[in-house]
Chains A and B, each alone.
Chain A
Amino acid sequence: MRALCKSVANGAQSLAILQDIGLEVMPGEAVAIVGASGSGKSTLLGLLAGLDVPSSGTVALAGQDLFALDEDGRAALRAKLLGFVFQSFQLLPSLNALENVMLPLELAKAADAAGPAEAMLRRVGLGERLQHYPKTLSGGEQQRVALARAFVMQPQLLLADEPTGNLDAATGADVIDLLFELNAERGTTLILVTHDNVLAQRCSRVVRLAGGKVVTG
């Protein structure tokens, strides 16, 4: 990403959330973006995923300029390259664990969605929970389903937004172990937003944001 800026109108004034962010992430690298609340971490993640557009600057994903594409073009690119893990899991409550993991495959019109989804759930240790609905799963189990959903598409880049934010320390550690295992197995590039320093230290590089600017990285 190059010279990335994002500001929002706040009354008559303009409030800068991100200022002149430049960052290059190599394939296979694991990068943690840390910073205090309001430092712009989540905004940066949204821009990296093409979920939002910057005020100025560019993001290139596997050589493709994200903001040269329209919204649907970015969506297609996300489908092809990206996986997501969220703080609040974002599982669809009306779908069971298996169906949640099948969803991205189904959206991509994969010929067989159930097979890979089931295999992935077994991989994250939920082979016995295929037909369970999110509300009957514990927080840790829900985040494992989310991990399975993220990895089932074999993404090149995984974006994780506070993946342990809603979990207790022990469960969070289990989920993070699993995340790094899967990451290593598949050679996925990882960008992880967190304010947990211990978690950040497990990444190969830590980028610290403060006041919308990169302070170390």
Chain B
Amino acid sequence: MRLALTLLWRDWRAGELRVLAIALVLAVASVTSVGFFADRLQQALTSEAHQLLGGDVVLVADHAFPLKIRDEIVTRGLQLAESMSFTSMARTASEAQLVAVKAVSAGYPLRGKLRIATAAGGADAETETLPAAGELWVDERMAGVFAIGIGDRLELGNSTFKVSAILTLEPDRGTSFFNFAPRLLMRLDDVAATGLVQNGSRISYSILAAGERSAAEAFEKVIAPQLGRGENLQSLTHARPEIRGTLERAAQFVNLAALLAVILAAVAIALGTRYYIKRHLDGYAVMRCLGATQAQLLALLLREFALLGVIASAFGALCGYAGQAVIVWLIADLMKVPLPAPSLLPALQGCAVGIVLLLGFALPPLLQLKDVPALRVLRRELGPARQSSLFAYAIGLAAFAGLVIWQAGEVRLGAVVFGGFCAAFAVFGVVAWSALKVLGRSTGASGLIWRFGLANLGRRAGANTVQVLSLAIGLTTILLLTFTRGDLLATWQAKLPPDAPNRFIVNIQPDQRTAVEAFFTGNGIAQPEIYPMVRGRYVEFNGQPVNAGGFDDRARRMVEREFNLSYLQSLPAHNVLTAGRAFNADDARHGALSVEEGIARTLGWQLGDVLTWQVAGENFKAEIVNLRKLDWDSMRVNFFVIATPALLEKAATSFITSFHLPAEKAALTQQLSKRFPNLTVVDMGALLKQAQDLVAQVVRAVQFIFMFAVGSGVLVLYAALLATRDERVREAAVMRALGASRRQVLASQRAEFAVLGLLAGLLAAAGATAIGWLIAQKVFQFPYQINHWVWLVGPLLGLGCLGVNLRAAARAVLNTPPLAALRDA
């Protein structure tokens, strides 16, 4: 082991292992930075389940709970607290904004503590108290949006409140991990006076219970089977599946992005290993000549590279640790909860990735070294029997496939991603190789220099293809994340007509309808269509009770919550009938349903099926007579299910509308809120901007991860250059011995590199365009506008990257005296 360590140190010092070590560090850092981040997220979610519920058992429903549940909690000796959450407009004299309101009863929170501060950005402290009657606590964001501080007034519905603290932490804020609206906390007793709770208001009611562990568990056991529809139990064992699912999928995606760096590192390792072997053939022949046995050499090789793997992976894991801090910093605005310190597991996983890379891509070819004939010391031309590279790397490819599947967390997704990687490599590889071969044969080029440079393209087609391929893949990711992403967003936004609705109004009560209409006309705004809305539950399908358990996750959530139903004589103009008939006079008499085709597919509805709905405790049933197609991007009011009026018009109804508010009339929102305090006005433009900010942050994090891939790509370039350097040096020596000037030698090299850079850039532009087109077609379903800039920027970036390489190559080539180069040969 000592000798192995000595050899490792000597090889390192001589720079022979640099490419391998850097490739390992990059790959491991890429994987572990994501791994550490995902680990912290995971732990935060788990601890949220304990502490951030605000109680041991929490019941959540979209309606008020019956009194007997409260009695049940109290008789079991558990503590009880209640809360209501909803969104509403809050107003100051000059501003009106949509905010998230949480109203809580005495005793809240049962677990964890609230923290408050006396000024935004000031030091905060735990508190046992709640806002006093007539007072509010606002979060920092809200203080910023309204430019208010302690002592300022804020109107909510019909009431006016005084701000008495800045709220910095709610223990159960985990329920809004990704939080858009500014938040405020108030007393439950103050809600009634605001008049905000009315028919059609979307309110989330929570009951919190906490106490002796056994009592809490017993209560959980008794209450769980009694829960009705729309009622949910959250406890230590029932964490929030939807948040978990979303975040895990996001982490999985970023994980796969991290693998791009791993595969490029694998290429660099394979190239670096070839170079290492070439440099060490003589040394190993000498050692055999000096009496080392094959077993001894094998043991030496294994130990030296195992040491290299462990040291480089450990260093990579350290870099990964730093990397995750950068990710957390990049998406700081997104993460509303402090993240716990990461565990050691991702570091171990990262090291496993490093070892797999070495075992798969370095070791098989390295093993040839032990077979080098000792006779090589007398006859230089002798080398070890060459294995086919396919066989040498078969193990590596298999290992990489395993790695992808492991990171993807499922075989199917893993296989698709691995296939995608292979296909991209194959397509880019074949195109690059063919282009190099064709260019290499083109004899039309004028001048010796160009002819020589171009001929080299074809002669070194193998090594050159690897360079073009790696650079093209790195550049594709860059172009995708800069140009293509912006193009897609711009195209999507351009699709909206300038007068598309940008405000939604919900919660209009029947007695306000005329007044709201008058408000529009009075302020010179086109009268928008106002639709009735009734909340109802889907209870039976063709006479059979609906079993939510029979659906997949997404469908189950749809079935479990209340639907927004509407009733209309005829379908809205912007809905397109795709099957069945429009409502006719018969339908108006007997009642009929029109449903959106997408939800019909999700829930298995077809024309002629009879659905039963429960509205305010009463059931009605009707047949589906048509299917509609909706344009969800239109920013208009859309309904999944529309009934004929006779079925619903007697139910408790609120109204909803959307309209276009020109920028110069933005102040109207504030007037509207003042006049009708219960209305909720949603600013779609602001929401969209928030969504875009969120996307921008995530993209920044992904871009950061891709930096590792770009780093690995550049390393591949360097490794490929090293692999051909000796040959280049020798050629240059011959040229110079024959009388070529340094300038001529440089020019021929420049010609070769220029073509390589251009080719890689063009491939990258084509790749980014193709992927952009695919996303536009398949995901967003709109025609993709090709961005012509990528065709300029891609090749320029390619030239730039290879220009750096050219300098390194030129230095080696020109600084080696021709005689030395020729003598070595």
Contacts and interface: CB of A to CB of B under 8 A. Distances in A.
Contacts of A77: 291
Nearest to B300: A107
Interface string B174-200: 000000000000000000000000000
Contact of B16 (A46, A94, A103, A107): A94
B294 interface: yes
A94 B14 CA distance: 5
A79 B378 contact: no
A106 B10 CA distance: 14
Given A51-B375, A93-B14, A106 B289 contact: no
A84 B10 contact: no
Nearest to B287: A107
Contacts of B295: 72
A177 interface: no
B213 interface: no
B67 interface: no
A78 B289 contact: yes
A86 interface: yes
Interface string A125-166: 000000000000000000000000000010000000100000
A109 B10 CA distance: 18
A76 B293 contact: yes
Interface residues of A, number: 32
Interface string A18-37: 00000000000000000000
B712 to A, nearest CB: 25
A97 interface: no
A79 B292 CA distance: 7
For B279, B285, B290, the residue with the greatest tally of chain A CB atoms inside 10 Å of its CB is B290
Contact of B292 (A42, A80, A88, A107): A107
A107 B283 contact: no
Interface string B365-401: 0000000011101111000000000000000000000
A86 B287 CA distance: 13
A42 B288 CA distance: 17
A86 B13 contact: no
B13 A106 contact: no
A107 B295 CA distance: 12
B821 to A, nearest CB: 14
Given A92-B286, A94-B13, A94-B14, A51 B292 contact: no
Nearest to A88: B380
A104 B378 contact: no
Contact of A106 (B3, B11, B373): B3
B6 interface: yes
For A72, A75, A161, the residue with the greatest tally of chain B CB atoms inside 10 Å of its CB is A75
B296 A107 contact: yes
A79 B288 CA distance: 9
A1 interface: no
Contact of B378 (A45, A72, A93, A106): A45
A163 B234 CA distance: 85
Nearest to A71: B294
Contacts of B291: 75-80, 82, 104, 107-108
Interface in A105-134: 106-109
For A93, A107, A108, the residue with the greatest tally of chain B CB atoms inside 10 Å of its CB is A107
**B-side binding surface: helix, strand, loop or mixed?**
helix
A107 B378 CA distance: 21
Nearest to A81: B291
A109 B295 CA distance: 14
Interface in B281-318: 282-283, 285-296
Interface string B4-20: 00100011011010000
Given A94-B11, A95-B10, A106-B3, A51 B290 contact: no
Contacts of B14: 93-94
Interface string A170-199: 000000000000000000000000000000
A81 to B, nearest CB: 9
Interface in B126-148: none
A51 B377 contact: yes
Interface in B459-494: none
B383 to A, nearest CB: 14
Contact of B290 (A45, A94, A99, A103): A103
Contacts of B3: 106-107, 109
A135 to B, nearest CB: 10
A52 interface: yes
A42 B379 contact: yes
A44 to B, nearest CB: 10
A49 interface: yes
A80 B291 CA distance: 8
Nearest to B283: A92
A204 interface: no
A153 B292 CA distance: 13
Contacts of B379: 42, 46
Nearest to B289: A84
Contact of A42 (B10, B296, B378): B378
B10 A94 contact: yes
Contact of A46 (B296, B375, B380): B375
A151 to B, nearest CB: 13
A82 B375 CA distance: 15
Given A75-B292, A79-B290, A94-B13, A51 B374 contact: yes
Top 3 closest pairs, chain A to chain B, by CB: A79-B291, A94-B14, A72-B293
Given A75-B292, A75-B374, A78-B290, 13 more contacts: A42-B378, A46-B375, A51-B377, A71-B294, A75-B288, A82-B291, A90-B377, A92-B286, A94-B13, A94-B16, A95-B10, A99-B6, A107-B292
14 contacts: A46-B379, A51-B378, A52-B373, A75-B288, A78-B290, A79-B290, A80-B291, A84-B289, A92-B286, A93-B279, A94-B283, A95-B10, A99-B10, A161-B378
